C-alpha cells in the first residue's frame, strides 16, 4: 500500500509526457464514442453524428459565408485579450507593490470574478453601442480579472532578497519591474495569462451570442433559428477544439515554467 502512495506521488510530481498524451487520446476516443452512441440513440433530428459534424466543420472553411464571422471573432478576441493583458499586468503590479491599495481592492476584484458578468453586458452595449467595441470590452472584463489576481500573488511571492538587491542597485521602478520582478514572478504571471486567455474567449463568445450580427457566437444562435443542428454542432466543435488545444499547450508551458522556478 505504501508503494501505491509512492507511485501516486511520483505520478503527480512529474507525470511523464507519454501518459499525458495517452490519457488525452483515450479521453477523446471515449468522448467520441459517447457522442456516436447518443447519435444512435436519439437520431438525426436531435443531433448530428461526429462524422457529419466534422464534415460540416471542414466545409465551413471552404465557404465564403463563414470567414467574415471567424475574422470578426478573432479580431474582437485579440483586441480584448491584448487590453486584458496590458490592464491586468498594470493593475496587478500596482496592487502587488502597494499594500494598502491591494488590501482594499483585492477582495473587490475577487468578488467581481464570481459575479454573473453577463448582466453587465447591456450596460456595455449602451456605453459602446452595438458593434465590435462592446464585445472587446466584455472580453477584457472577463480576461483582466485572473491576470490581476495572479499578478498580485506573483509580485508578492517574489523573494524579498531580490527586491532588496534591486534597491541596493538603486533601480528605477520601471527597471525594478523589468529586470527583477517580472522574471522572478513570470511563472505565476503566466498562469494568470493562461486563465485570462480562456476567460477572454468566453467573454467574447458570450457577447456575440447576445444581440450580435456577426461572429461565431452569432452563428451559434443563428443555427437555432434555422433549425440547423449541424451548424450549431460544427461551430461548437470548432470552439471546443480550439479552446481545449490552446489551453493544453499553455498548460504545458505553464507547468514547465513552474518546474524551472
Partner 1 sequence: MKLVVLWRVLVVVAAIALLEVLCLAGAIDRITMPPPHEIARDLWRMLVSGRMNGAIRKTLTNASIAFASAAIAGVAFAALLHNHRQTRSTLDPLFATYYAVPVFAFYPLLIAVFGLGDLPQVLIGFMLGVVAVIVNTLNGLDRVPRVLAKTAAVNRLGRVRTAASITLPYAAPHILTGVKLAVAYSLIGVVGSEFIMSRGGIGYEISFAYNNFDNATMYPLIVLILALSIAVNAFLTRWEQRLRVRRGQR
Positions that interact with partner 1 (CB under 8 A): 5, 8, 11, 15, 19-20, 23-24, 26-27, 30, 42, 46-47, 100, 103-105, 107-108, 111, 114-123, 125-127, 197-198, 201-202, 205-206, 209-211, 217, 220-221, 223-224, 227, 229, 232-233, 235-236, 239-240, 243-244, 246-248, 251
Question: Rg of the chain's alpha carbons, rounded to an integer?
Answer: 22
Grid coordinates belonging to 37 = 452512441
Which of 23, 22, 27, 74 has its CA nearest to residue 238?
Answer: 74
Grid coordinates belonging to 112 = 467581481
The residue (of 71 and 224) whose beta carbon lies closer to partner 1 is: 224
The residue (of 170 and 225) whose beta carbon lies closer to partner 1 is: 225
Q: How far is the CB of 104 from partner 1 (least distance, A)?
A: 4
Q: Which residue has the cell 491591494?
A: 102
The full length of the chain comes to 261
Grid coordinates belonging to 21 = 498524451
The residue (of 120 and 163) whose beta carbon lies closer to partner 1 is: 120
Q: How far is the CB of 160 from partner 1 (least distance, A)?
A: 22
Grid coordinates belonging to 236 = 461548437
The residue (of 71 and 240) whose beta carbon lies closer to partner 1 is: 240
Q: How far is the CB of 82 from partner 1 (least distance, A)?
A: 19
Q: How far is the CB of 241 from partner 1 (least distance, A)?
A: 9
Which of 167, 200, 4, 171 has its CA nearest to residue 87?
Answer: 200
Q: How far is the CB of 224 from partner 1 (least distance, A)?
A: 5
Q: How far is the CB of 154 from partner 1 (least distance, A)?
A: 20
The residue (of 149 and 235) whose beta carbon lies closer to partner 1 is: 235
Q: Helices 66-97 and 132-156, interaxial angle, to 10°?
A: 30
The DSSP string of 144-207 is HHHHHHHHHHHHHTS-HHHHHHHHHTT--HHHIIIIIIHHHHHHHHHHHHHHHHHHHHHHHHHH
The residue (of 100 and 168) whose beta carbon lies closer to partner 1 is: 100
Amino acid at each position: 500500500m505504501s508503494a501505491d502512495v509512492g507511485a501516486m506521488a511520483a505520478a503527480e510530481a512529474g507525470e511523464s509526457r507519454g501518459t499525458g498524451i495517452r490519457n488525452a487520446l483515450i479521453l477523446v476516443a471515449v468522448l467520441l464514442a459517447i457522442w456516436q452512441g447518443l447519435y444512435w440513440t436519439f437520431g438525426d433530428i436531435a443531433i448530428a453524428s461526429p462524422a457529419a459534424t466534422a464534415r460540416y466543420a471542414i466545409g465551413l472553411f471552404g465557404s465564403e459565408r463563414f470567414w467574415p464571422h471567424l475574422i470578426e471573432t478573432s479580431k474582437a478576441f485579440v483586441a480584448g485579450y491584448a487590453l486584458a493583458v496590458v490592464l491586468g499586468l498594470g493593475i496587478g503590479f500596482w496592487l502587488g507593490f502597494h499594500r494598502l491599495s491591494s488590501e482594499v481592492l483585492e477582495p473587490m476584484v475577487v468578488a467581481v470574478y464570481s459575479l454573473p458578468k453577463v448582466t453587465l453586458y447591456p450596460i456595455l452595449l449602451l456605453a459602446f453601442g452595438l458593434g465590435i467595441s462592446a464585445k472587446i470590452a466584455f472580453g477584457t472584463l472577463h480576461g483582466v480579472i485572473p491576470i490581476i489576481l495572479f499578478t498580485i500573488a506573483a509580485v508578492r511571492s517574489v523573494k524579498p532578497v531580490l527586491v532588496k538587491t534591486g534597491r541596493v542597485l538603486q533601480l528605477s521602478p520601471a527597471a525594478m519591474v523589468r529586470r527583477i520582478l517580472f522574471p522572478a514572478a513570470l511563472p505565476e504571471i503566466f498562469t494568470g495569462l493562461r486563465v485570462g486567455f480562456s476567460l477572454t474567449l468566453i467573454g467574447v463568445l458570450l457577447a456575440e451570442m447576445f444581440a450580435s450580427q456577426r461572429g461565431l457566437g452569432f452563428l451559434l444562435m443563428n443555427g437555432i433559428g434555422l433549425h440547423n443542428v449541424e451548424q450549431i454542432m460544427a461551430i461548437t466543435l470548432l470552439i471546443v477544439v480550439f479552446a481545449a488545444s490552446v489551453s493544453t499547450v499553455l498548460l504545458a508551458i505553464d507547468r514547465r515554467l513552474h518546474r524551472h522556478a
